[in-house]
Amino acid sequence: MKKFLSFAFVVLLAGAWGFLKFKTAKNEMESAAAPENRRTLHVYAMSDYFPSEVIKEFETANNCEVKYDNFSNNEELLAKLQAGARGYDIIVPSDYAVRALIESKLIKPLDHAKLPNFKNLGRDFTEVPYDPGSKHSVAYTWGTSGLVYNTKFVKEPVESWDVLFKKEYVRKIALLDDSREVLGAMLRKLGYSTNTVNMDELKAAKELLLKLKPSVRLFSSDPKQHLLSGDVWIAHTYSGDAQQIIKDHPEYKYITPKEGGVIFIDAMAIPEGAPNEDLAYKFINNILQPEVGLKITEELRYSSPNTALESLLKDETLKASSIRKVQLGKLEFLKDLGAETEKWDRAWSEAKTK
Q: Is 336 in the site for ligand SPD (CB under 6 A)?
A: no
Report if residue 142 touches ligand SPD, rule: CB under 6 A. Answer: no
Figure out which of the listed residues 47, 104, 198, 225 binds ligand SPD, where binding follows CB under 6 A.
47
Residue among 94 and 297 whose Cβ is closer to ligand SPD: 94
Query: Nearest CA to 283 among 110, 70, 153, 72?
Result: 110
Determine contact, residues 189/161, Cβ cutoff 8 Å: yes
Q: Nearest approach, Cβ of 279 to ligand SPD (angstroms)?
A: 23
Total Cβ atoms within 10 A of residue 91: 27
49 near ligand SPD (CB under 6 A)? yes
- Shortest approach of ligand SPD to residue 240 CB, angstroms? 6
User: Binding segment for ligand SPD among 29-37, 79-87, 103-111, 260-268 (CB under 6 A)?
Assistant: 260-268
CB of 140 to ligand SPD, least distance (A): 9
C-alpha distance from residue 119 to each of 32, 144, 280, 286, 290 (Å): 31, 25, 18, 13, 11
Nearer to ligand SPD, 49 or 165 (CB): 49
The yes or no reply on residue 46 touching ligand SPD (CB under 6 A) is yes
Residue 94 touches ligand SPD, criterion: CB under 6 A: yes
Task: Give the binding range for ligand SPD (CB under 6 A) out of 27-35, 44-52, 122-130, 289-297.
Answer: 44-52
Contact between 52 and ligand SPD by CB under 6 A: the answer reads: no
Q: Containing H/E element for 64?
A: strand 64-70
Q: Report the site for ligand SPD in 230-259 (rule: CB under 6 A).
A: 238, 241
DSSP-derived secondary structure for 245-305: HHHH-TTEEEE--TT-EEEEEEEEB-BTT-TTHHHHHHHHHHHTSHHHHHHHHHHH--B--
Residues 162-181, mask of contacts with ligand SPD (x by CB under 6 A): -------------------x
48 binds ligand SPD (CB under 6 A): yes
Residue 232 three-state SS: coil
Give the 3-state secondary structure of residue 7.
helix
Residue 185 in contact with ligand SPD, rule: CB under 6 A: no
Residue range at the interface with ligand SPD (CB under 6 A); choices 23-31, 46-54, 150-158, 343-351: 46-54
Residue 40, classed as helix, strand or coil, is strand
218 vs 275, beta carbon nearer ligand SPD = 218
- The residue among 169 and 202 lying less far from ligand SPD, judged by its C-beta, is 202
Question: Which of 264, 281, 333, 348 is the binder for ligand SPD (CB under 6 A)?
Answer: 264
CA distances from residue 299 to 235, 238, 291 in whole angstroms, order as listed: 21, 15, 13
Span from 16-24, 41-49, 101-109, 201-209 in contact with ligand SPD (CB under 6 A): 41-49
- Residues 68, 84: Cα–Cα separation, whole Å: 19
**185, 327 Cβ separation under 8 angstroms:** no
Closer of 89 and 241 to ligand SPD (Cβ): 241
E strand or H helix at 141, and its extent? strand 138-150
Residue closer to ligand SPD by CB (options 169, 300) is: 300
End-to-end CA distance of the chain: 101
DSSP-derived 3-state class of residue 162: helix
Partners of 43 in beta bridges: 68, 90
Q: Which stretch binds ligand SPD (CB under 6 A): 47-55, 80-88, 123-131, 289-297?
A: 47-55
DSSP label at 112?
Answer: G
Q: Which residues bind ligand SPD (CB under 6 A)?
A: 46-49, 94, 181, 222, 238, 241, 262, 264, 266
